[in-house]
Amino acid sequence: MVTVSGMIYKKELKGEDGLYYLKNVELCEEKADISIDDCRILLRTNSGEYRVGQVIEARCNMRWMDEASNAGGFDEQAYYHSLGIDTLLYCDQRPIVTKQKKKCQIRNGLSALREKMRGVYTEHLNEKDAGILASMVLGDKSLMEDELKQLYSSAGISHILAVSGLHVSIIGMTLFQLLRKRGLKYLPCCLVSGIVLLLFCVMSGLSVSALRAGIMFLIFLGAQLLGRKYNSLRALAVAAVITLLANPSFMYNAGFLLSYFAVFGAVAVAPVLTAIKRAEEKALSKNKGKIHSWIRGNLNSMILSSSIMLTTLPLNAYFFYEIPMYGILANLVVIPLAGILMGFGLLGGLLGAIPFAWIVFIPCHLILRLYEAICQGLQWLPLDVWITGRPPVWLMMLYYSILVFLVWAFYYKDEMRRYMIKKILVLVISVSMMAIMFVQPPARQMQISFLDVGQGDGIYINGGDGKQYFVDGGSTSETELGRYTILPFLKYHRVRQIDVWFVSHADTDHISGLLEVLEKGYAIETILISELAPEDDNLLALKAAAKEAGTQVITVANGTFLAGEGYRIICYTPETLDMENRNQASLVNLLEYEKQKKHVGLLFRRNTEQSKEVFRVLLTGDIGAEQETWLLEQEGIGEVDVLKAAHHGSKYSNSQAFLQALRPELTIISCSKNNLYGHPHEETLERIKNVGSDILLTMEAGEITLKQ
């Protein structure tokens, strides 16, 4: 337990819980007698009654932020550190308010207005519409449904769900132009629109993109007052410098990078493509006449969207490992309507207490239904989302170097050479983009990864010949394992399809993630199960999900094997007296492949001269001691290099005779900390050590990867 006190400078609601961002924090760890001053923390409690500006004191449980334990997983530590948050605290007892800072009255009022508008949305709109408008207008994503977030992301329009520069610009410029049309002079127009915009940014949570747009808009107002020409590119640079001086950690924040690179595409790259379009139109006009204005308008919108995509494509691939293929087309409709949606959403939220104010939300409802129809329609098109994997940093730097050179050539080369340079460089950029995002297949390298899935199993195998395999994929300790662990891992490695997914048995801790993967529409060609697997409810549910996804399910007999280039996977189906016991009927897999001169990823004690010619990995599912005895009698079973311990290190498996016969150099145990079963049992660990095997636990080491 720790005692913490600090001032609330930002507040969010997550259902009934409150998330409070505290600064000027004093933190004291009671048992260790350690105190930390002047840090920033995120406090979670089951009450949302506290206000911005209050100084609170609470006794809390502290949990150090986790790093990503699997490739592609969410790095909690990096994310919150990029926001300037030092640690997370969970408060079991009600905090005590010690005092209220008077200087935060404005922020208190804005926070109260934010909560009131949130209540208006939930009262007058359905859950979907309320979640979207709360996210767009208030920066509050707590009401958003996960499926809707994924739908918008797959269509490439998820940017409208955040309070971004688009929303800030709509509010600021609309207000400024309205005041100018009313005949007001520049000074009052600038003051009113600037103050209103700043208040909106603070009310909506002051996201990094809103902060960037706010600074750029203030620079625009300053240019208007001084009678100077506004330069968007310079304003963008000034906003970046100011933001990074305030918090240098933003340099590693995905939101910061995507926001600034998107605007760079709009203000620097779009003019290049627009000039090419104009040159083409000029050439065409001599022979085919003028292009209709509405076509030119659509082309301009497409050019703007394409420019933003060109500059953010590597970043999307780096942070999210995939790109929406039809985002440009979707944004042709989405962006023009975003201003109307934002305007009516903001107006409806402010007028919520007035009778019949719900009428204002009718346009919002219609626009959001159109958005949803567009997103769902795009899902029917082939390759709506393309898995890119995480590109190497050097290739991203090369990409951006070419892009910057293109912009430089456009602005500083003479007219005669400019057009040819642009044409050539556009081609080079397109080829580079294809090389980064589309052409690269998964790495052709033998790889075995034991994922950290908590209390369960999940094993990825890259055959090195273009074939991709997976074994099990489930957990009883981790929720949404497929969404947050398995799919990010596969996408990170550019794995666009699993050729064969082996299922040892249908216990939840072995198939829960697989069921999610099937539901998400990820491509799985074949699922293999033992012909002796009990036909119970779990297995029937798996078969139904596979049928819905278009995946074939094949049962295998004992001794069946799959062969690839330099490797094979042998399947064993243990016989048991209790055929209704899923654990005892687990499918066992033995992977054998030819080794190179050097050992795989981990350094083993045996030297190369003493090593076998074939590297062997045994994956045992949840078999017990009886099945282990049966397995030792099968052809091909002998000493192995790596053993995946049976049943997560249970004392009723991994018998001494079994381990003595296998003599693994390395034993890997997949389990979670503080699990209900006490895995791995001390007796099992002792038996493994007695045969001279090293031990690695996923709950301690995270993902364990062997590479050749």
Q: Model confidence at 601, in pLDDT bands (50, 70, 90)?
A: very low
Least confident of 12-21, 128-137, 556-565: 12-21
What pLDDT, on the 0 to 100 scale, is given for residue 442? 82
Predicted confidence at residue 683, as pLDDT, reads: 94
For residue 269, name the pLDDT band (cuts at 50, 70, 90). Answer: confident
Q: Look at residue 18 and give its three-state secondary structure.
A: strand
DSSP sequence for 667-707: EEE---TT-TT-PSPHHHHHHHHHTT-EEEEHHHH-SEEEE
**Pairing of the two strands 666-669 and 498-502:** unpaired
Rounded CA separation 450/618 (Å): 12
Are residues 44 and 89 in contact, defined by beta-carbon separation less than 8 angstroms?
A: yes
Which span out of 203-207, 213-217, 293-297, 475-479 was modeled with the highest average pLDDT? Answer: 475-479
Q: Is the pLDDT of residue 290 over 50?
A: no
The residue among 576 and 443 whose pLDDT is bigger is 443
pLDDT at residue 70, as a whole number = 94
Lowest mean pLDDT among 46-55, 302-311, 427-436, 441-450: 427-436
Going by pLDDT thresholds of 50, 70 and 90, the confidence category of residue 467 is very high
DSSP states of 354-416: STTGGGGGHHHHHHHHHHHHHHHHHHTSTTSEEE-----HHHHHHHHHHHHHHHHHHHHS-HH
Q: How many angstroms separate the CA atoms of 362 and 125, rounded?
A: 10
Lowest mean pLDDT among 297-301, 529-533, 699-703: 297-301
Mean pLDDT for 5-29 is 79
Tokens representing residue 635 in the block: 């052809």
- What radius of gyration do the chain's Cα atoms show? 29
Residue 415 has pLDDT above 70, yes or no: no
| pLDDT, greater one: 241 or 295 | 241
The highest-confidence range among 102-111, 205-214, 486-495, by mean pLDDT, is 486-495
Q: Strand pairing partners for 529?
A: 555
pTM above threshold 0.75: yes
Task: Provide the 8-state DSSP code for 185.
Answer: -
Is the per-residue pLDDT at 251 higher than 70? yes
Q: How far is CA 186 from the centre of its chain?
A: 44
User: If residue 236 lies in a helix (H) or strand (E), which one and from where to where?
Assistant: helix 232-246
Predicted pLDDT at 381: 86
3-state SS string for 426-462: HHHHHHHHHHHHHHCCCCCCCEEEECCCCCEEEEEEE
pLDDT above 60: residue 7: yes
Residue 21 and residue 195: Cα distance in Å, rounded? 24
Question: Own/partner pairs for 71-78, CB < 8 Å, 24+ apart?
Answer: 71/449, 71/489, 71/492, 71/493, 71/703, 71/705, 72/321, 72/390, 72/488, 72/489, 72/490, 72/491, 72/492, 72/493, 73/484, 73/485, 73/488, 73/489, 74/484, 74/488, 78/252
Query: In the structure, what pLDDT confidence band is assigned to residue 99 with cuts at 50, 70 and 90?
Result: low
Of all helices (H) and strands (E), which one includes residue 87?
Answer: strand 87-91
Residue 649 has pLDDT above 80, yes or no: yes
- Cα angle vertex 157, ends 156, 158, to 5°? 100
What average pLDDT does the segment 393-411 reach? Answer: 79
330 in helix, strand or coil? helix
What is the structure's pLDDT at 462? 95
How wide is the angle at C-alpha 72 spanned by C-alphas 67 and 75, nearest 5°? 25
Candidates 279, 505, 523; CA nearest to 384 is 523
473 dihedral zone (left: phi>0; alpha: psi -120 to 50; beta): left
Task: Determine the pLDDT at residue 606.
Answer: 40
pLDDT tens sequence across 219-230: 988 888 888 888
Whether the per-residue pLDDT at 288 is higher than 90: the answer is no
Strand partners, 45: 18
Residue 598 has pLDDT above 70, yes or no: no
More confident residue, 68 or 284: 68
Question: How confident is the model over 303-313, as a mean pLDDT?
Answer: 81
Phi, psi of 345 (to 5 degrees): -65, -45
Give the type of residue at 488. Answer: P
Q: What percent of the chain has pLDDT over 90?
A: 34
Structure confidence at residue 602 as a pLDDT band (50, 70, 90) = very low
Mean per-residue pLDDT, 166-170: 71
CA contacts within 13 A on the Cβ side of 58: 28
Which pLDDT does position 296 carry in this prediction?
Answer: 57
Question: For residue 363, what are its two tokens?
Answer: 């346009």
What tokens appear for 177 in the block?
A: 């132009």
Q: Is the pLDDT of residue 528 over 90?
A: yes
Residue pair 250/244 in contact (Cβ under 8 Å)? The answer is yes
Strand order, beta sheet including 468-475: 552-556, 524-530, 498-502, 468-475, 456-462, 447-450, 704-707
**Structural contact between residues 74 and 32, judged by C-beta atoms closer than 8 angstroms:** no
Percent residues over pLDDT 70 in the chain: 85
Mean pLDDT across the chain: 83
Find which of 65-79, 172-186, 266-280, 661-675 is predicted with most confidence, using mean pLDDT: 661-675
Q: Which of 126-130, 167-171, 540-544 has the highest mean pLDDT?
A: 540-544
Count Cβ neighbours within 10 Å for each residue of 145-167 and write b for 16 or more, e otherwise. eeebbebbbbbbbbbbbbbbbbb
Smallest CA-to-CA distance from 169 within 235, 248, 247 is with: 235
Contact present, 459 and 679 (Cβ < 8 Å): no
Place 2 in a pLDDT band, splitting at 50, 70 and 90: confident
Lowest-pLDDT range of 274-278, 283-287, 653-657: 283-287
| Residue 5: per-residue pLDDT | 84
